[in-house]
Amino acid sequence: MTITEVPNVAGAIETLESHLHPQPSFDLADHPSPNGREEVWRFTPMRRIAPLLEERANEDREGDPAVAFTLNAPDGVEASTLNRGQAPRGTVLVPGDRPAALADLGCEDALYVRIPANTEVAEPIRLEIEGRDAGRRSNAVHVIVAEPNSKATIVYRHSGSTQQLENIEIDVRDGANLTFVSLQDWADDTLHAAEHTARVGRDATYRHVNVSFGGDVVRMHTNVYYDGPGGSAELFGLYFADAGQHIEHRLFVDHNAPHTKSNIDYRGALQGQDAHAVWIGDVVIRKVAEGIETYESNKNLVLSEGARADSVPNLEIETGEIAGAGHSSTTGRFDDEHLFYLTSRGIDPVEAKRLVVMGFFVDIIRRIGIPDVEERLVAEVERELAASVGAAK
Amino acid sequence: MTQTQAPGLGATQDEHLEALGKYRFGWHDADTAGASARRGLNDDVVRDISARKGEPEWMLERRLKGLRLFERKPMPTWGADLGGIDFDNIKYFVKSTEKQAQTWEDLPEDIKNTYDRLGIPDAEKQRLVAGVAAQYESEVVYHKINEELERQGVVFLDTDTGLKEYPELFQEYFGTVIPTGDNKFAALNTAAWSGGSFIYVPKGVHVSIPLQAYFRINTENMGQFERTLIIADEGSYVHYVEGCTAPIYKSDSLHSAVVEIVVKKGARVRYTTIQNWSNNVYNLVTKRATCEEGATMEWIDGNIGSKVTMKYPAVWLLGEHAKGETLSIAFAGEGQHQDTGSKMVHAAPHTSSSIISKSVARGGGRASYRGLVEVQPNAHHSASSVKCDALLVDTISRSDTYPYVDVQTDDVSMAHEATVSKVSDDQLFYLMQRGMEEDEAMAMIVRGFVEPIARELPMEYALELNRLIELQMEGAVG
Question: Taken in order B157, B158, B162, B165, is the CA torsion positive or negative?
Answer: negative
Closest Cα to residue B45, out of B85, B108, B88?
B88
> How far apart, in whole angstroms, are the C-alpha atoms of residue B304 and residue B274?
7
Backbone angles phi, psi at B361, to 5 degrees: -120, 135
CA of A85, closest CA in chain B: separation in Å? Answer: 34
Give the CA distances from residue B458 to residues B242, B314, B436, in Å, rounded to whole numbers and listed in that order.
11, 22, 28
Question: Taken in order B436, B442, B446, B448, is the CA torsion positive or negative?
Answer: positive
Rg (CA), chain A: 20
Give the CA distances from residue B397 to residues A252, A321, B356, B370, B422, in Å, rounded to whole numbers and listed in that order.
21, 10, 21, 17, 11
> How far apart, in whole angstroms, are the C-alpha atoms of residue A141 and residue A102?
10
Closest Cα to residue B424, out of B401, B439, B440, B442?
B442
Span A317-339, mean pLDDT? 82
Which has the minimum average pLDDT: A217-221, B195-199, B352-356?
B195-199
Neighbours of B421 (CB within 10 A): 16
Question: Taken in order B166, B168, B171, B172, is the CA torsion positive or negative?
Answer: negative
Closest Cα to residue B428, out of B441, B440, B439, B437?
B441
Q: Which of A40, A287, A314, A338 to mutate to test the interface with B (most CBs of B within 10 A)?
A: A314
Residues of chain A with C-beta less than 8 angstroms from the C-beta of B407: 300, 302, 308-311, 331
Q: Which of A246, A264, A297, A331 to mutate to test the interface with B (most CBs of B within 10 A)?
A: A331
Give the CA distances from residue B311 to residues A37, A294, B286, B299, B460, in Å, rounded to whole numbers and listed in that order.
22, 28, 6, 12, 24
Closest Cα to residue A203, out of A349, A60, A3?
A3
Give the model confidence (pLDDT) of B249-302 as tens digits. Answer: 545 688 899 999 999 999 999 999 888 777 788 999 999 999 999 999 999 998
> How far apart, in whole angstroms, are the C-alpha atoms of residue A68 and residue A138?
10
A170 residue type, one letter = I
Span B43-61, mean pLDDT? 90
Q: Which of B410, B411, B425 to mutate to test the interface with A (most CBs of A within 10 A)?
A: B410
> How far apart, in whole angstroms, are the C-alpha atoms of residue B284 and residue B299?
17
> How far apart, in whole angstroms, are the C-alpha atoms of residue B154 and residue B206?
10
DSSP strand E in B125-236: where?
131-136, 139-145, 155-158, 197-201, 211-216, 227-232
CA of A353, closest CA in chain B: separation in Å? Answer: 15
Measured in whole angstroms, the distance separating CA B285 from the mean position of its chain's CA atoms is: 8
Report yes or no for ipTM above 0.95.
no
Closest Cα to residue B141, out of B190, B170, B103?
B103
pLDDT at A357 over 80: yes
Residues of chain B with C-beta less than 8 angstroms from the C-beta of A328: 415-418
Give the model confidence (pLDDT) of A75-117 as tens digits. Answer: 989 999 999 889 899 999 999 999 999 999 999 999 999 999 9
> How far apart, in whole angstroms, are the C-alpha atoms of residue B274 and residue B152?
28
Would you list the DSSP string of A307-375? -EEEEEEEEEE--S--SEEEEEEEEES--HHHHHHHHHTT--HHHHHHHHHHHHHHHHHTTT--HHHHH
Helix (H, G, I), strand (E, B) or coil at A282: strand
Most confident of A31-40, B223-232, B320-329: B320-329
- Inter-residue contact A319 to B362 (CB < 8 Å): no
pLDDT at B14: 54
- Inter-residue contact B313 to B340 (CB < 8 Å): no
Cβ separation A316–B398 shorter than 8 A: yes
Give the model confidence (pLDDT) of B94-113 as tens digits. Answer: 655 444 455 556 555 655 66
Helix (H, G, I), strand (E, B) or coil at A90: coil
> How far apart, in whole angstroms, are the C-alpha atoms of residue A137 and residue A65?
10
Residues of chain B with C-beta less than 8 angstroms from the C-beta of A307: 408, 410
Backbone angles phi, psi at B335, to 5 degrees: 75, 5
Give the model confidence (pLDDT) of A196-244 as tens digits. Answer: 999 999 999 999 999 999 999 999 999 999 999 999 999 999 999 999 9
Q: Which of B355, B407, B427 to mutate to test the interface with A (most CBs of A within 10 A)?
A: B407
> How far apart, in whole angstroms, are the C-alpha atoms of residue A241 and residue A384?
10
- Inter-residue contact B252 to B174 (CB < 8 Å): no
Which has the minimum average pLDDT: A348-357, B39-48, B123-132, B193-202?
B123-132
Cβ separation B400–A314 shorter than 8 A: yes
- Could you tell me where the DSSP H helices lie in B202-262? none
Span B84-93, mean pLDDT? 80
Span A361-372, mean pLDDT? 90
Closest Cα to residue A52, out of A193, A216, A248, A244?
A193
> How far apart, in whole angstroms, are the C-alpha atoms of residue B323 and residue B298?
8
Span B390-408, mean pLDDT? 85
B270 residue type, one letter = R
Cβ separation A310–B396 shorter than 8 A: no
> How far apart, in whole angstroms, are the C-alpha atoms of residue B439 and residue B462?
20
Q: Give residue ranges of A with CB < 8 Å to any B CB.
A: 19, 39, 287, 290, 300, 302-322, 324-333
% of chain A at pLDDT higher than 90: 69
pLDDT at A170 over 60: yes
Backbone angles phi, psi at B366, to 5 degrees: -130, 125
* Count of pairs with CB atoms under 8 A, one residue in A, one in B: 119
- Inter-residue contact B23 to B472 (CB < 8 Å): no
- Inter-residue contact B195 to B140 (CB < 8 Å): yes
Q: Give residue ranges of B with CB < 8 Å to any A CB.
A: 77-78, 361, 377, 380, 390, 392-422
**Cis geometry, peptide bond prior to residue A88 (ω within 30 degrees of 0):** yes
pLDDT at B448 over 70: yes
Go through chain A and tell me how many residues it has: 393
pLDDT at B175 over 90: yes
Integer distance in angstroms from the first to the last C-alpha of chain A? 57
Helix (H, G, I), strand (E, B) or coil at A58: coil
Would you list the DSSP string of B106-136? GS-HHHHHHHHHHTHHHHHHTT--SEEEEEE
Measured in whole angstroms, the distance separating CA A204 from the mean position of its chain's CA atoms is: 19
Which has the minimum average pLDDT: A130-139, A174-183, A288-297, A382-391?
A382-391
Q: Where are the domains of chain B?
A: 34-311, 431-478
> How far apart, in whole angstroms, are the C-alpha atoms of residue B165 and residue B147?
18
At B322, is the pLDDT very low, low, confident or very high (cuts 50, 70, 90)?
very high
Neighbours of A72 (CB within 10 A): 12
Closest Cα to residue B312, out of B331, B299, B324?
B299
Q: Kindly identify which residue of chain B lies nearest to residue A326, measuring between CA atoms.
A: B419
pLDDT at A10: 34
